[in-house]
A and B are shown apart, each in its own frame.
Chain A
Amino acid sequence: MTPSQPPSHQPPATSHGERSEPTPRIVFDNVSRFYGEVLGVNRVNLSIGSGITSLVGPNGSGKTTLMNLMTGLIRPSRGTITVLGIPSGRPEELFRKMGYCTQFDAFPKGLTGYQFIYSFLLVHGMIESEAAKLTDEALQRVSMTEAADRPVAAYSKGMRQRIKLAQAIAHRPTVLVLDEPLNGLDPMARAETIAVFKQWGEEGRHVIVSSHILHEVDRISDQVILLSHGYVVAEGQIQGVRSEVKDQPMQILVRCDKPGLLASRLFEQDHVVEAKVNEDGRGLLVRTRDADSLYLLLNRIVLDNGLEVEAVAPADDDVNSVYQYLIGAEGGTT
């Protein structure tokens, strides 16, 4: 397990060469939440910087509880939570900077998609023209402009998901919390939605995403928080988390022209556990307990034997593998 990672975006230097204030963070300080005698999350200490952070875990692991705590929809039984310095119990301040797309698939009755977003922007206290402008912008961002005047009740599941997302982002929040935002979206909409998240992350905002579609989360996350049974089992950049899992040999794929020769040389090393030639005969999957030594050795073999190497890449530092290593089959990840 790794301790909290430093923020993925360093604070920019000022014109005088000084560093500006540290990047505002979302901080959980020894937070526990119980539902009667049932554990929601326990002793959570987190400090989340800007960029995309994924919450990963099976059903009941505490992802939604953590998000609801962060957004003040529920209160911690113990501990404190601050979001960019604002206590989570102050919605009137918090939601000026935060948007939350929940899993609840319910909407106020009788509203069109446009009215849904516009009405709640007015609840923020905005004037009509500003609310209208932001509504149009949000609808455009989730490609829902054409369906905006239809009642939400007539929307498909994917459209409802997108209109919820539009409502969450309409006021241009600095922190965006998204609970399973890819559920119900078709592949095209998923790609578009992921692109929106990436853009928001790159703009230096905080995007907190929970998803059980791990390979999609993996592609976009700056850091991950792995949860199991209400506990945070690991957090940080996924490669960093992977390297800390010492008891599971790293898998490294080497694409080269002489995999057999490479395998024979590698087997002389103690740290190499397994080497398997690819079916196409142009690569070798190596399992090693010491990746750094393997990379050094690989350089030497290339020089000594004139090996032509096309690519060297870790094969199991994705979220899914790390999750399986840390939590095992109980995770039931997708």
Chain B
Amino acid sequence: MIGAMRGLRIVACGIALATTAELTVGLLHVLEVIPSRERDWIPLAIYPFLALALLAPAVIGLLIALQLPCNRIAWILLLGSFVPSVQLSAEQLFGAGWSLQSERATIPLLFAWPVAVAFVFPNGRLLSRRWRWVAGAAVVSFGLTVAMKIFDPVAIEPPNQGIRNPVLGNHLGEVIENNGLWIPFAIGVLASLLAGVLAVALRFRRSAGIERLQMLWLVWAAMLTPLAIGYDVLAGFLLGGGGAISFMLLVAAEVALVAAIGIAVVRYRLYAIDRLVNRTLVYVTLSLLLVGAYAAVTLALGVVVASGSDWVVALATLVVAVAFRPLRSRVQDLVDRRFSRARYEGVRRVRDFEEEVREGRREPEAIVPVLAEALRDPLATLLFWLPASATYADESGALVAALPNDGRAQFEIEREGARTAVLVHDAGLLEKPDLLRNVLTAAGLSIEIARLRVEVRFQLAEVEASRARIVEAGYEERRRLERDLHDGAQQRLVSLGVQIRRLQRTLADEARILSPALDQIVGEVGAAIGDLRQIAAGVRPSRLDDGLAAALRDLANSSPLPVDVDARSGRVAASIEAAAYYVVCEALTNAVKHASASKAAVSAVRENGALLLTVSDDGIGGAVARRGAGLAGLKDRVAAHGGTLEIVSPSGEGTRINVAIPCDS
């Protein structure tokens, strides 16, 4: 299959080359390098236009065939330019008589390719099965008209009347001519032209989407031809002939038509031809500039140094080598600005954004709206890939369970072979792959930075959430343990004591001697209960059952220091209350043990969704949160709830601990 494609491409190149060869022969004729016996040959001024008219379909046909070797329109264009061009070398091959005779006969073929294109544009197929009859009739009409005209027995018209018609007065030709046998087929040719117009009109009316756009291109270009013909007719009336201008306009219309066909057919791969044009322009301009620079340097230095010196060559080469890179980007810029506006501006937009990020004026995550703007797709969104959790997240870090499935296209962005993000964009952008690729390449670094930031934020949130869960679970476990101690072991001990007491009371008189021992046992049981209560209180202060404010007051009451308590926090989550309680506990212990304070104050208020806790004393100050020490432990405890702990303890001015713990509601 691939081999066949290659073969087709080679054949296409061959046809295009053959057309070029024919045009070269024609040029040699015009330049009178090859002598011609025909008079009224094409004048030198007209020849370039004729060459353009023949070359344009060949070039566009070749460009299409190279990309889509099976596209029928490519072959119609290639053959459409090659067949009429054969005429140019006919004199060399068959003599002047046959040349003039075939020229007369093949005039209809000039219209053959536009009709063929009109029948099958844009998908290479006829409109319907019924149109096969129309197409067949057209082929027969064109073929027979040309074939019959080859036998035209009439002498050649002036100014070539001196050249003999090689089939002058032949019998078959006489029969055809005398009976007008060619006339129906000539009418058939005209009918085919009308059918072509009808086919395009029908197709245009039925078309939608991409086909509609393709048809628009064709119809727009086809309109130029009647305009040119209209000018010719008008000029004929007013000026007695349109002359060279009419001819030029007709050629321009034809070239425009061919170009439009080319654009319409390779629309999907527009970027390829687009890039080809772009690169050609860039490198032709660049080459000219560099050659100019080389020449200028050589000339300028030639005046100073003896010309032909190795120095001159070396210096000129150096200039060219140094100028190449900056010049190339300049020219590329210029060409992009002229010919690929959207892409140029899109890339510019992204570069400006990167500059803003570098200067710290914008966050890297803002690349998402910038991309939407650069791609001119306001709904375009970027979803960042988080490899650790194998999910996508948007720029705010919110996880996206599944990629949107709303008919929009998705473009996977990779960096060094690893997926970084997916761009969800309008399917229309697929038709501008160059824009998409260039903008995304320019934005690559920003996207990666944004992705990393989203990932770090997401993971941090995960870690914080899990830490909070662990702390919460710890408190829950303590609470359960405390309850088990009270309701299990303690209950059992009490009931054991009660049983002993009952036993003691029912002792017979002679056993009364045991009573003091039983008293002692009950005493021990009581002590065990007391111990157990102490342990349970350490596990979780049951004071917190009545809320933080009450617990803080109890705490203050049991402190050897006078403690001023201002607790107006209301109820917050149990785990947060516990954290706050331990903070105050530790802070008051420090105030007594290390700070030699004479009094302390505790305040707990709720403000802006946070529990604000302050413990201050009038001690010696100088407290720091050393690793492993009580204060550092408090810091961790508070951080586990997403809060902050700040120690203000200037030497000699007392200590103040400020804690803020977020508590919702």
Q: Do A and B belong to a common assembly? A: no
Which A residues form the contact surface with B (CB < 8 A)? Answer: none
Which B residues form the contact surface with A (CB < 8 A)? Answer: none
